[in-house]
């Protein structure tokens, strides 16, 4: 064992939302968990994040929802508008019946705030967090996972979790695919809410749908900040240019939109552009004692606002499948990981593939023009508030691939 820098029960590669959630989930079950991250510091870039009840239920399970609510906002409605007329197309109330049905609130939160809540959760639970570790490869040796990092540092664990994001280093152990570009680019930004900020929709998540573009706005940090995301199809991507989606294209993309949308472009930071990628779903996430989770396993387009939410679900299911199998009242049984990660893979790959595929189709319906736009608008307008038929499969409390409704909290039951 001494040839390895660290020998641990679980080694998590990647300190984004997925890695932190996975580390916390298994630490809650009583595992010794080490998480390694290539960046010199933990953190998140970007602005806001929508956390639907399927994810806030997971935070509730870990006792972290209150902390998220302290810094987040519970928006009143999710509102869709036509970006070229401003007309309201449909509105979903997010309190009351919605929250009751799904057992947790819809929350919008600054990414860095959610990341910090998870990081502090890991610190408090006793996850060993290590920065400046660039993982290069992983293999399974004598039934244990071995991770090779830069500068010849090696780690050994019963289970290795690859939570290293869209461009995962560990995914090639299970697939030879590449990220798929959607030809869309996002710009994001947050600005303080001032008395001059137009008051309309300030308590809601508002999505303006336009031809080949959309714009999302919602409040953050108790309503002190306004978050704006603009996403448009890049003509220079279609021409095969490498640096596609520049600021000139941003403004051109919204030229036919209502003044409220055009004015909102001023809220965007233009220093970073975010080309939007996903991957085709894959069935197998397991190689020996390595399993993928989060964007490394199932990166998706952001139209359902579910990438991080699905990572939280992953973590909770990983916690469930190892409860009573790997982690039992009699102690830890590492041999049970083989079956547990296959069970995890089976239920989660089916569910996340559906989310990945639906996100693509949902995005297409947002960006149509002409007759398709007329029909889309008619369909949206025919929907009644609190019609849950489009939400239940995604936010519902029970169903295949979802975490168990009751939280297992095993750490206290395990022998010390
Ligand atoms: C515009 C936009 C809007 C979005 N909105 C939402 C939303 O509203 N709701 C939602 O749920 N999701 C949303 N998402 C998706 C969400 O941001 C992602 O799904 C989520 O952040 C993925 O987390 P992750 O931990 O899997 O990956 P990442 O955040 O990419 O984290 C991976 C981590 O691994 C580290 N790493 C990578 N390689 C290595 C290596 N070799 N060695 C060590 N460390 C490594 C990285 O440094 C990083 O910290 C949005 C995405 C975009 C682009």
Those residues with Cβ within 8 angstroms of residue 142's Cβ, 6 or more apart along the chain or in another chain: none
Question: Can you tell me the mean pLDDT for 183-204?
Answer: 91
Residue to probe by mutation, ligand 1, list 135, 308, 352, 363, most atoms within 8 Å of CB: 308
More confident residue, 151 or 313: 313
Decide if pLDDT at 345 tops 80. Answer: yes
Does any domain span residue 221?
no
**Global model pTM greater than 0.85:** yes
* Residue 347: pLDDT over 50: yes
Encoding tokens for residue 167? 């461009």
Ligand 1 pocket: which of 58, 75, 164, 180 to mutate (most atoms <8 Å of CB)?
164
- pLDDT band at residue 1 under the 50/70/90 scheme: very low
- pLDDT surpasses 70 at 414: no
pLDDT confidence of residue 165: 98
List beta partners, residue 187. 230
Q: Is the distance from CB of 12 to CB of 158 less than 8 angstroms?
A: no
Split at pLDDT 50, 70, 90, the class of 89 is very high
Annotation says 218 is catalytic: yes
Kind of pairing between the strands at 6-13 and 153-162: parallel
The residue segments making up the domain with residue 38 are 6-179+279-396
User: Is 320 within 8 Å of 404 (Cβ atoms)?
Assistant: yes
Q: List CB contacts of 264: < 8 A, sequence separation 6 or more.
A: 215, 217, 228, 230
Backbone angles phi, psi at 227, to 5 degrees: -100, 135
132 within a domain of the structure (yes/no): yes
Confidence grade of residue 413 (pLDDT, cut at 50, 70, 90): low
Handedness of CA 164, 144, 343, 65 (dihedral sign): negative
Kindly state whether residue 340 falls inside one of the protein's structural domains.
yes
Q: Burial code of 219-253, b = ≥16 C-beta within 10 A, e = fewer? A: bbbeeebbbbbbbbbbebbeeeeeebbeeebbeeb
Specify whether the CB–CB gap between 229 and 185 falls below 8 A: no
Kindly provide the b/e burial profile for residues 23-34, where b requires at least 16 CB atoms within 10 angstroms of the residue's own CB: bbbbbbbbbbbb
Region 179-203: mean pLDDT is 92
In a domain, 94, yes or no: yes
Residue 193 is predicted with a pLDDT of: 95
- Which residues does a 6 A CB cutoff place in the pocket of ligand 1? 13-19, 36-39, 49-50, 133-135, 163-166, 169, 186, 229, 274, 294-295, 302, 305-309, 311
pLDDT digits (tens, 9 = 90+) for 321-331: 999 999 999 99
User: Per residue in 206-232, pLDDT tens?
Assistant: 999 999 999 999 999 999 999 999 999
Please state the rounded mean pLDDT for residues 312-326.
97
Q: Relative to the CA of 20, which ligand 1 atom is closest? A: 25
Residue with the two structure tokens 């025919």: 382
Where is 111: in which H helix or E strand? helix 111-125
* Count of residues making up the chain: 416
Question: Which residue out of 102, 187, 208, 218 is catalytically annotated?
Answer: 218
Classified as helix, coil or strand, 276 is strand
Nearest CA to ligand 1 atom 6: 305
The percentage of residues in the chain with a pLDDT greater than 90, rounded to a whole number, is: 89
Tokens of 193: 């809410």
How far does the centroid of ligand 1 lie from the alpha carbon of residue 213, in Å? 23
Domains contained in the chain, number: 1
Counting Cα atoms < 13 Å in the Cβ hemisphere of 250 gives 25
**Number of helices and strands (H, E) in the chain?**
12, 19
Q: Is the pLDDT of residue 5 over 80?
A: no
| Average pLDDT score over the chain | 95
Q: Is position 306 within any domain?
A: yes
Q: What angle do CA 156, 158, 162 make, to 5 degrees?
A: 75
Note whether 76 and 385 are within 8 A (CB).
no
In a domain, 50, yes or no: yes
Give the bridge partners for 180, in sequence order: 278
Closest ligand 1 atom to Cα of 19: 25
75 vs 73: CA distance, rounded Å: 6
Contacts of 377 (CB under 8 A, 6+ apart): 82, 87, 89
Q: Among residues 22, 3, 1, which one has the least CA distance to residue 13?
A: 22
Distance 386 CA to ligand 1 centre (A): 31
* pLDDT tens digit sequence for 356-395: 999 999 999 999 999 999 999 999 999 998 899 999 999 9
Count of C-beta atoms within a 10 Å radius of residue 259: 9
Calculate mean pLDDT across residues 43-70: 95
Please say if the pLDDT value at position 415 is more than 60. Answer: no
- How far is 386 from 212, CA to CA, in rounded Å? 28
Residue whose CB lies within 8 A of the most ligand 1 atoms, among 114, 245, 302, 311, for a mutation test: 302
134-147 residue pLDDT tens: 999 999 999 999 99
How far does the centroid of ligand 1 lie from the alpha carbon of residue 296, in Å? Answer: 9
pLDDT at residue 332 in the model? 92
Q: Provide mean pLDDT across the span 308-322.
A: 98
**Rounded distance from Cα 275 to ligand 1 centre (Å):** 13
CB 291 within 8 A of CB 337: no
229 torsion bin: left (phi>0), alpha (psi -120 to 50), beta (else): beta
Separation CA 212–CA 126 (nearest Å): 46
Residue 226 located in a structural domain: no
Q: Is the pLDDT of residue 238 over 90?
A: no
CATH number for 342: 3.50.50.60
Beta-strand ranges (E) seen in 246-294 are: 274-278, 286-287, 290-292
Instruction: Tell how strand 290-292 and strand 286-287 pair up.
Output: antiparallel
**Helical H segments across 213-369, by residue range:** 235-238, 247-253, 259-264, 307-322, 337-366
In a domain, 237, yes or no: no
Q: What is the pLDDT of residue 3?
A: 62
SS3 breakdown of the chain: % helix, strand, coil, rounded to 5?
35, 25, 35
pLDDT digits (tens, 9 = 90+) for 245-289: 999 999 999 999 999 999 999 999 999 999 999 999 999 999 999
Mean pLDDT value across residues 180-196? 95
Classify residue 180 as exposed, middle or buried by CB count within 10 Å of its CB (0-12, 13-18, 19+).
Answer: middle
């Amino acid at each position: 064992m001494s040839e390895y820098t660290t020998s641990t029960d679980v080694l998590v590669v990647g300190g984004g939302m997925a890695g932190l959630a996975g580390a916390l989930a298994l630490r809650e079950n009583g595992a010794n968990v080490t998480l390694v991250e290539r960046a010199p510091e933990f953190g998140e870039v970007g602005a806001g994040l929508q956390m639907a009840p399927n994810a806030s239920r997971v935070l509730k399970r870990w006792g972290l929802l209150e902390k998220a609510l302290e810094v987040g906002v519970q928006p009143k409605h999710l509102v869709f508008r036509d970006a070229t007329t401003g007309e309201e197309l449909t509105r979903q109330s997010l309190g009351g019946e919605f929250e009751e049905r799904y057992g947790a609130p819809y929350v919008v939160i600054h990414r860095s705030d959610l990341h910090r809540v998870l990081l502090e959760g890991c610190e408090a639970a006793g996850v060993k967090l290590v920065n400046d570790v660039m993982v290069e490869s992983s293999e399974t040796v004598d039934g244990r996972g071995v991770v090779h990092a830069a500068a010849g540092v090696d780690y050994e664990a019963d289970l290795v979790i690859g939570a290293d994001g869209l461009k995962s280093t560990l995914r090639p152990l299970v697939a030879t695919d590449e990220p798929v570009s959607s030809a869309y680019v996002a710009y994001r930004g947050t600005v303080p809410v001032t008395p001059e900020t137009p008051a309309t929709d300030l308590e809601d998540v508002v999505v303006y749908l336009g031809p080949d573009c959309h714009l999302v706005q919602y409040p953050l940090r108790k309503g002190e900040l306004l978050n704006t995301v603009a996403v448009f199809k890049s003509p220079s991507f279609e021409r095969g240019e490498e640096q596609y989606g520049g600021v000139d294209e941003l403004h051109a993309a919204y030229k036919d939109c209502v003044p409220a949308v055009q004015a909102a472009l001023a809220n965007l930071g233009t220093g970073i552009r975010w080309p939007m990628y996903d991957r085709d779903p894959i069935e197998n996430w397991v190689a020996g004692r390595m399993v993928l989770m989060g964007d490394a396993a199932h990166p998706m387009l952001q139209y359902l606002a579910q990438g991080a939410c699905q990572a939280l679900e992953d973590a909770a299911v990983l916690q469930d499948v190892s409860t009573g199998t790997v982690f039992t009242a009699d102690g830890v049984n590492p041999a049970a990981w083989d079956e547990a990660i296959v069970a995890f893979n089976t239920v989660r790959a089916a569910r996340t593939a559906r989310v990945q595929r639906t996100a693509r189709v949902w995005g297409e319906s947002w960006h149509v023009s002409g007759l398709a736009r007329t029909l889309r608008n008619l369909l949206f307008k025919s929907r009644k508030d609190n019609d849950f038929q489009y939400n239940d499969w995604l936010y519902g409390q029970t169903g295949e691939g979802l975490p168990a409704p009751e939280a297992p909290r095993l750490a206290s039951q395990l022998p010390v």
